[in-house]
Structure 1
């Protein structure tokens, strides 16, 4: 199964939708580079459609997402009256066409981009949707698309546009559910186990060998899987966790910087300061000063808190 993986934020954006039919002997129109994603969900009959070299038969309860940059065409006439919901949406963020059967590549660590100093960084995540799937709850999906149809005549009202986007997010969730019901790929499962272990043990000294022993995978394979799922190595992932935890302590407590370094897993305060400065663009002490105007009483820090 192939997937469309969107980096969020921003969320994919709903444009418009509708319900149409193709008579017996009719065809889906052929189009190229329509610049929007085209979600098609069949409720009756069968839709025969192709995208480049791939061919699909979309039967009742099944869905397909056609890419905005590909050529789409009918592969054969409909053998019976075919009803299909269609929905156009746009992704202003990055996305990839992902095939889990491909071996994950070991990528170079991406350079750190300059950005404004923020109290809390909005960490991106992946929205992974199968391109062609059988819906887990087709009737629920039909109901959502009916809701969008009812909202369509009033789409000029801002509040209605907001409602459309909320319904559309549920449409995406329903599509993702059909993927989650399947067994995740070995690479994805490995990456998620590694990330979970690092989050639980970020205060401890890191060892690639120990991580491999805990997960029962070779460290090089773990690194490849984490690059594919999270875009970074285990060491870089751990560093990000430690720095985010340190930012919370810098804002919420008056603990010395050296103490905070130890609390989040750094053995040397100098290395903590250097790592923090490289990722955040300023030192831990300067970062704390960004939030020091409010002199009200701070809650005492309790070691081991998950706040």
Structure 2
């Protein structure tokens, strides 16, 4: 499966769309580098399309996203009357392609965002969309796209344009859900459960054994899963999360450094300071001074 990875925010945004009926014998137009994404959702019949070297048969209940930077062409004419929605959309953020979901890729980009909880910076994440998919709920998608197209009549009104964008985000969510029917992998589930436990209990002393007992997985397996999904061991994950919580307290409160260390799970002020300096390259006191006025 080819998967589109969209960096969000900014959100992918709706431009224009419509509903078309292609009679028997009609071919989809060939185009190159149209500079927008073209989402096609077939409600009846079948579209026969190619993108670069890949060919698709998009039958009823299926969707295909044609890329803005590729060559698209018809591989054959419609064999029967074919109804389909076409939606042009774009993203101002980064996007890319792969043949697997992010959970199976190296974790470096994911690792950066998980711990970057500083409220003074905009945090991005990745939204995954299948380029070609069998829709999870075709009738629901049909309803959303019908709403979207009907709103075109009054899209000169700002409030209607806003409504279009809201409906389009539901379309995006439905497309994303269509590739998740198999559910997350066992390792991803284990890593997510472990991460949730560590985040919930970060103020406490946590041992590998306690973590394993809490989510019913062996500590060695947990460590392996977290390394795969987050790029770090459980203790390192916990330490990074504590440091991020400490950074927020340093910026948002006047609590003494030692007290902040206690608040985020460190029993000794000196240990907190050394860990903070190890991860941030600066002491807690200097970190706070960096953002203080005067």
TM over 0.5: yes
1:270 maps to which residue?
Answer: 273
1:302 maps to which residue?
Answer: none
2:127 maps to which residue?
Answer: 127
* Distance (whole Å) between structure 1 residues aligned to residue 111 and residue 230 of structure 2: 17
On the 8 A contact 2:40/2:84 being kept in 1, the answer is yes
Q: TM-score, normalised by structure 2?
A: 0.78
Equivalent residues in 2 for 1:52-131, closer than 5 Å:
52-100=52-100, 104=104, 106=106, 119-131=119-131
Q: Runs in 1 of length 4+ with deviation above 6 angstroms?
A: 107-112, 205-213, 232-236, 279-282
* Distance (whole Å) between structure 2 residues aligned to residue 6 and residue 166 of structure 1: 17
Deviation string, structure 1 residues 213-238 (Cα, Å, up to 9, x no partner): 746538566434325xxxx7867754
- Report whether the alignment pairs 1:226 with 2:230: yes
* Distance (whole Å) between structure 2 residues aligned to residue 139 and residue 70 of structure 1: 30
Deviation string, structure 1 residues 46-103 (Cα, Å, up to 9, x no partner): 1111222222111111111112122211111110011110101111112221322899
Q: 78-87 or 30-39, which moves further after superposition?
A: 30-39
Equivalent residues in 2 for 1:219-298, closer than 5 Å:
219=223, 222-227=226-231, 237-250=237-250, 254-266=254-266, 268-274=271-277, 278=281, 283-286=286-289, 289=292
- 5+ residue gaps, structure 1, are 291-307
Deviation string, structure 1 residues 106-164 (Cα, Å, up to 9, x no partner): 4768999xxxx964544322212222112122122112111111211322222221111
Once the 2 structures are TM-superposed, how far is the Cα of residue 191 of structure 1 from its aligned partner? Answer: 4.7
User: Residues 103, 163 of structure 1: CA spacing in aligned structure 2 closer, same or farther, 3 A cutoff?
Assistant: closer
* Distance (whole Å) between structure 2 residues aligned to residue 282 and residue 13 of structure 1: 43
Q: TM-score, normalised by structure 1?
A: 0.75
Equivalent residues in 2 for 1:124-273, closer than 5 Å:
124-185=124-185, 188-189=188-189, 191-203=191-203, 214=218, 216-217=220-221, 219=223, 222-227=226-231, 237-250=237-250, 254-266=254-266, 268-273=271-276
* Distance (whole Å) between structure 1 residues aligned to residue 34 and residue 210 of structure 2: 49
Deviation string, structure 1 residues 149-199 (Cα, Å, up to 9, x no partner): 121132222222111111100111111222232232456445534533442
Task: Describe the SS at the equivalent of 2:221.
Answer: coil
Cα RMSD after superposing both structures: 3.7
* Distance (whole Å) between structure 2 residues aligned to residue 282 and residue 161 of structure 1: 48
- 5+ residue gaps, structure 2, are none
More helix by proportion, 1 or 2? 2
Deviation string, structure 1 residues 203-261 (Cα, Å, up to 9, x no partner): 4678999989746538566434325xxxx786775455223322443466553212212
Once the 2 structures are TM-superposed, how far is the Cα of residue 263 of structure 1 from its aligned partner? Answer: 2.8
Once the 2 structures are TM-superposed, how far is the Cα of residue 5 of structure 1 from its aligned partner? Answer: 2.0
Once the 2 structures are TM-superposed, how far is the Cα of residue 3 of structure 1 from its aligned partner? Answer: 1.8
* Distance (whole Å) between structure 1 residues aligned to residue 210 and residue 188 of structure 2: 20
Task: Describe the SS at the equivalent of 2:168.
Answer: helix
